[in-house]
Amino acid sequence: MFSIYAILGVSLNLVVGYTGLVSVTQAAFYGIGAYATALIAKTAGFGFFSSMLIGVIVAGLIGLLIGLVLSKFRDDYYVIVTVGFNIIAYGIFMNWHSLTRGPLGIVAVPRPKIDFLGLHLDFNNNLLFLALVLVFLALIYFLARFIAKSSFGRVLKAIREDEKAIQVFGYNAFYFKLAIFVISAGMAAVAGSFFASYLRFTSPNTFVLMESVLILSMIILGGLANLKGSLLGAFILVLLPELMRFVGFPNEIAAEMRQIVYGVILVLLMIYKPSGIMGEYKL
Amino acid sequence: MKNDKNIIEVKNLVKHFGGVYAVNDLSLKIPRGEVVSIIGPNGSGKSTLVNLLSGMVEINSGVVILNDAEKLKKIKSYEIQDLSITRTFQEVRLFEQMTVIDNLLVVLTNRSVFGSFFEVHKKYHLEEVERMLQRVGLEAKKNQLAKNLSYGQRKLLEIARALLMKTEIYLFDEPFAGLFHAMIKTVSGIIKDLRKEGKTVILIEHNMDLIRELSDYVFVMDEGSLLAEGEPDSVLKKKSVIEAYLGK
């Protein structure tokens, strides 16, 4: 799960940390990736990787449409509209029964298989599956790093700092914001594909608004505009429930306590280190 | 005016915010290759005029004519680079949480989404930035975040950023405000160099000594309209101008 959340964290950091657009809708793209992979692999009989690719394209296209709407909003209104999109996505996953089977979810999502040039790899083995997700995490991390270090990445940071000022120097911020939103949506869909395949199941309850808040918490905790910070944030927040079991919280209240601890961490961070542990940008 | 050819002509320009007219039926001609100052009391519409010319606010009516040819009823801020216009701001607007060097590199690299995606700044970009930092005396600050600079250094960085745009028209909105003597000398030197290079500088300024020293021509604005125009010495002696500044 760490690798899946790390992909989500890296993808969201491009939008929030580098571009300064506080988006609370990453779970929607995560869900689109999960459902697209599950549905295409099961109904059309496509392999995992083809299904994932289609999921990325679908998430990118939906990201494009959402990004177009979001371009009309700024600051607090932008956040509120992204919340709205996550709620809409959840509503669709939950209520479009003929496609998503609603709360029942989709079961028996296949694991990836590689059968190429005499190489046979079956990722039913969890260790092999972990290795595969880590490979994709590395690919996405280096793609995000490439973006952050490019001239494109520098323009994103300038948009974050002062969108009106950077426009005076010849940059149409609209296209840059749209591009990074679409890229981020596609990356989140990769995480969704792996999630559905890892559990062999996907249902709407994973893609609720709180999931987007959790992903946002990870990158704020680890550090905004720092990709290593996204990995650290994911590591801490995925590991936290396990650590809490050792602290001795009873199982019945462990989940609620986890939410409280997340909240306390965020409040303390905002007071003492608003840029997060490794952050290079303060909201 | 020594040059008949105007680089900018403003005709019947109007900008109002609700019922308040910041620029009211303003017409003026800016000659090419000169330093033109726009002066007037606070709230006279000087900064709004610069904002209109740089696309930061929308024109309500009127027209801006560039090079006696191109008529613009709308100016978009991201298109002013193509019109060879750049600017600084009355309230310094830097990219605060970026380094000094990144504040300058960002105006040198590719403007398109696709082009910038596959571009990493080159050695010659860095050399150009280093040269500019030396020119404004900020070379020792190049790796600092812009937000950690002093007020004067921030003004200089903003001017350096505008200079790197290498445009024909520079709009400087109160570039000397808050600067101490050595920095004023640096900035006035820059403006004189721009004039020598044949660039057009539109300067908003309150310091009359600097206006006399630097300007070829002066426009005086009051309540969004043109009150007077002419060469600095004659304009600054006009009774109407003195009254606008000091009150009747």
Beta bridge partners of B26: B13
According to DSSP, residue B4 is labeled S
CA distance readout (Å), A97 to A45, A46, A152, A189: 20, 22, 41, 21
Which pTM does this prediction carry? 0.90
**A166 contacts B86? CB cut-off 8 A:** no
CA distance readout (Å), A179 to A186, A247, A281, B122: 11, 44, 21, 23
Residues A18-23: what's their mean pLDDT? Answer: 93
**A170 contacts B81? CB cut-off 8 A:** yes
Q: Tens digits of per-residue pLDDT, B7-41?
A: 888 999 999 998 899 999 999 999 999 999 999 88
- % of chain B with per-residue pLDDT over 70: 97
- Kindly report the backbone phi and psi dihedral angles of residue B66, in degrees, each rounded to the nearest multiple of 5, phi listed first: -100, 135
pLDDT of residue B2: 46
pLDDT of residue A279: 83
**Distance (Å, whole) CA A11 – CA A19:** 12
Neighbours of B194 (CB within 10 A): 17
Any B CB within 8 A of A42 CB: no
**A164 contacts B93? CB cut-off 8 A:** yes
Q: Among A2-6, A275-279, B9-13, B45-49, where is mean pLDDT lowest?
A: A275-279
Q: Which residues of A touch B118 (CB under 8 A)?
A: 150
Any B CB within 8 A of A274 CB: no
Q: Which residues of A touch B97 (CB under 8 A)?
A: 157, 160-161, 280-282
pLDDT of residue A108: 77
A46 pLDDT more than 60 = yes
Q: Which of B217, B220, B213, B215 is nearest to B238 (CA)?
A: B220
Any A CB within 8 A of B234 CB: no
- Mutation to test the B interface, candidates A71, A145, A154, A281, most B Cβ within 10 Å: A154
Residues 157-186 of A with CB under 8 A from B: 157-158, 160-162, 164-173, 175-176, 179
**Minimal-distance CA residue of chain B relative to A20:** B97
The pair of structure tokens assigned to A148 is 């952050």
CA distance B15 to chain A (A): 19
**Distance (Å, whole) CA A190 – CA A194:** 6
**Minimal-distance CA residue of chain B relative to A173:** B78
Establish how many alpha carbons lie within 13 A of residue A74's alpha carbon, considering only the half-sphere containing its beta carbon. Answer: 7
CB contacts < 8 A (A, B): 93
Q: Tens digits of per-residue pLDDT, A85-100?
A: 999 999 999 999 888 8
B123 pLDDT more than 80 = yes
* pLDDT higher at A257 or A205: A205
The pair of structure tokens assigned to B19 is 């019922």
Q: Under a CB-based contact definition with an 8 Å cutoff, are residues A51 and A106 in contact? A: no
Q: Which residues of B touch A170 (CB under 8 A)?
A: 78-82, 107, 111
**Distance (Å, whole) CA A10 – CA A234:** 9
Any A CB within 8 A of B109 CB: yes
Q: Under a CB-based contact definition with an 8 Å cutoff, are residues A102 and A205 in contact? A: no
Mean residue pLDDT of chain B comes to 89
pLDDT of residue B4: 56
Beta bridge partners of B64: B10, B72
B248 pLDDT more than 70 = no
Q: Among A118-122, A235-239, B135-139, B141-145, where is mean pLDDT lowest?
A: A118-122
Residue B1 pLDDT grade (very low, low, confident, very high; cuts 50, 70, 90): very low
Q: SS3 sequence, B81-127?
A: CCCCEEECCCCCCCCCCCEHHHHHHCCCCCCCHHHHHCCCCCHHHHH
Q: Tens digits of per-residue pLDDT, A197-213?
A: 898 888 898 898 988 99
The pair of structure tokens assigned to B132 is 């500019």
Mean residue pLDDT of chain A comes to 89
- % of chain B with per-residue pLDDT over 90: 62
Question: CB-CB: which of A150, A152, A167 is closest to B78?
Answer: A167
Residues A208-230: what's their mean pLDDT? Answer: 90
Q: Which residues of A touch B76 (CB under 8 A)?
A: 167
- Report the Cα B215 to chain-centroid distance in Å: 14
Q: Tens digits of per-residue pLDDT, A124-154?
A: 888 988 999 999 999 999 999 999 999 999 9
Q: Under a CB-based contact definition with an 8 Å cutoff, are residues B201 and B35 in contact? A: yes
Q: Under a CB-based contact definition with an 8 Å cutoff, are residues A235 and A46 in contact? A: no
Question: CA A253, A256, A259, A260 torsion: positive or negative?
Answer: negative
Q: Among A220-224, A263-267, B182-186, B191-195, where is mean pLDDT lowest?
A: A263-267
Amino acid at the residue B43: G
pLDDT of residue B106: 94
According to DSSP, residue A111 is labeled P
A169 pLDDT more than 60 = yes
The pair of structure tokens assigned to A172 is 């149409």
Q: Tens digits of per-residue pLDDT, B58-116?
A: 999 999 988 877 778 888 999 999 889 999 999 999 999 999 999 999 999 889 999 88
- Mutation to test the B interface, candidates A19, A169, A182, most B Cβ within 10 Å: A169
CA distance B201 to chain A (A): 17
Residues A43-47: what's their mean pLDDT? Answer: 84
**Distance (Å, whole) CA B122 – CA B31:** 37
A177 pLDDT more than 70 = yes
* pLDDT higher at A17 or A106: A17
pLDDT of residue A269: 81
pLDDT of residue A100: 86
Residues 34-63 of B with CB under 8 A from A: 54-56
Q: Which of B84, B83, B89, B81 is nearest to B106 (CA)?
A: B81
**B111 contacts A170? CB cut-off 8 A:** yes
**B77 contacts A168? CB cut-off 8 A:** yes
Any A CB within 8 A of B124 CB: no
A268 pLDDT more than 90 = no
pLDDT of residue B246: 59
**B78 contacts A168? CB cut-off 8 A:** yes
The pair of structure tokens assigned to A5 is 């959340």
Any A CB within 8 A of B233 CB: no
**B117 contacts A152? CB cut-off 8 A:** yes
Question: CB-CB: which of A161, A169, A179 is closest to B81?
Answer: A169
